[in-house]
Structure formats: C-alpha cells, structure tokens
Amino acid sequence: MAMMAFALVEVVMIVLGIVMANQLEEQKELREVTESAEVLFEEVMSNLEAEVLSANAVIQKNRTNNRVSDVVYNPETTPQEAFQNAMGVYFMVRFYDQLELNSRGYNALEKIHDRLPPHLLDLYVDLDLLMTRKPEIEENNKRFKEVVYANMEHNVHNYAWWNKSNYIGRPGIEFIEWMKTPECLAQTHLAVNSSAHLASNSERYRVAAIDLYHDIRNVLSDTSAAPPWMNYAFRGDLPMEQLGTYVLEDKGFLNTWGVEEITLDLMGDQLVAIPNNGDTMDLCSMGNGLYNFPGPTYSLYEFPTDSTLAVQQFGVLRDWTYRKKVPTELAD
C-alpha cells in the first residue's frame, strides 16, 4: 500500500513538473512575442509619422491645384492674373503627389498576431482596420499618376513650345495662350479631380493614423515628445476673434450647398463647424490656420482675412466664401 502511495505521489510530481515546465515555456514565449511585437509597433509608429507627413503634402498639393484651377476656369481672369499663375497651372498638369504607405511593420505583426497578448492584439485589430484603407488609396495614387503622365505625353508630342517650357523651366507666352483653350480646361479638370480623390482619402487616413499612433504610444507607455504634425487638435493658430457666425456671400451656391450660415466654435481643444442646416462637424487642424473636415463631404476651411472664411470643395468647384456676421449690438 505504501509503495502504491509513493508511486502515486511520484506520478503527481512528474505531472506537476511537466505542467510547470510548459507554463514556464509559454510565459517565456509570451515574453518573447510581446518584446518582438513592441519593437514592431515602434516601427509602425515611425511608419505612421512618415505617412501623415506624406498625407499633409498631398492635401496641400490639392489645395494649390484647386486655387490654380480657379484661374483657368474663371472667365474674368485677367492677362496679368494668367501670367502670375502660369507656373502654377504648369505644375498642376505636369506633376503629381502620392500618399506613400509603408506596411512593413504591419506585415511582420500579421505573422504573429494570433500569439499577441490582449492589450497588443487590440492595437493590431485597429491597425488591421487602418490597412483596409490602403487599396483605395493605392488606386487613387495610380489614377493621379496616370492622369498627369497622359497630360504630359500628349503635350510633349503635340506642342513644341511645351518642350521649350520644360527646358527653360518656366511657361512661355504660348503656354499662357493655351491656358484659355478647352484642352487646358479638360486637363485641369482631370488633374484636380484625381488630386481631390486622393486628398479626400488622405485626410481620412491621416486622422485615423494619428488616433492609432497615440493609442500605440499609450499602450507602450511612450512619454517622449510626439512630432508636432501627429496632432489634429486645435493648436491656437486661429485668433479667438475669428470664432463666430459666417454668412455665405454668393447665395447662388445655396441650390447645391444649402448652407447659408456656418458658426465656428471651440469645444475644449476641438474646433467645430456648425452649419445652419446640419450637425456639428469636428474640424481637424493641419497647422497654419488650415482645417479639414474628413467626413464623406470632404472640405478644407481657411481664413483669407480676419473676417472671411473660405470653404474649399471637392475637385474644380470654386471656393464658397463666407463673411463674418457682425453682432447686432455692434452693427447698430
């Protein structure tokens, strides 16, 4: 009987030893996976920083293209204005921007995501969701590049003066005359439209990337200073005097836009736009007094003067200009 009891104890001890050894091995593997994943998430953070910078450049390029398209499409453009903006038109139909995405960190995490601890798995799920935006952005990149190359190849083959403009690095009188033609209008429309599609998706990606970036920082307990561009909250670059209600100057836009008044207000560190016929919209700062609304109706808000608000719309549409409403007590 004693021998049986001893044998049973020995078996139990062996089983416990095996269980403990397995647990230690699992804990070791979890530590190794966690350490590897944390390094990869640091790489993802670096990728996101570069991607947000790239998105900013794309959005700025679209803003420039949109402004220049006003010169091409406005029948009241003067010869002097055409001359002053010729270089901008040249760059608009000749050059493109791309939102450069780097998936290396994500691809490495994808291989180990099924072994991640819960707190890192949550981050991976959010990163995986962000990556679902990549195919459409790559399609936007491809389309923008194709449009610009098609413009360039057509102009190089059909206009000797275009080659001369390339060589001397500035548009000549022939180019300025060409700016009045239906062909220039068509090339402008295609370039600005493809630029706007990319800018719209870039802004939505930018905001989601910044949110994920700070979530990763919090989980990794990263207390270092984040780059200034990894932030879309109100930055104090808009004087408080510019908050208030703005009234649409050209009422002809009401047929398509329907927003006669927009009120700008500050809720905590969030600048918001409140249309008279819609919901409150969070505006995301790009710095330098520029704010984006990254929703389905993408638009860019800026302040040409202390009393005006310009709302840039999608594609070649002219800006909608609003003038600040003077309070009744001051108007009297």
Nearest 10 degrees: Cα torsion 302, 308, 313, 317: -130
> Residue 6: CB partners within 8 Å, gap ≥ 6?
none
> What is the pLDDT, as a whole number, of residue 24?
45
> What is the pLDDT, as a whole number, of residue 137?
97
> What is the pLDDT, as a whole number, of residue 128?
96
Topology of domain 240-331 in CATH is Lipocalin (2.40.128)
- Residue ranges of the chain whose pLDDT lies below 70: 1-32, 235-237, 253-257, 295-298, 327-332
Provide the sign of the torsion angle of the four alpha carbons 196, 199, 203, 205, taken in this order: positive
Give residue-wise pLDDT tens across range 101-143: 999 999 999 998 888 888 899 999 999 999 999 999 999 999 9
Give residue-wise pLDDT tens across range 69-104: 999 998 899 999 999 999 999 999 999 999 999 999
Q: Which of 187, 129, 135 is closest to 158 using CA atoms?
A: 187
Within a 10 A sphere around the Cβ of 27, how many other Cβ atoms? 10
Q: Which of 39, 253, 245, 65 is closest to 151 using CA atoms?
A: 65
Per DSSP, the three-state class of 289 is: coil
Q: Where are the domains of the chain?
A: 18-219, 240-331
pTM: 0.85
> What is the pLDDT, as a whole number, of residue 163?
82
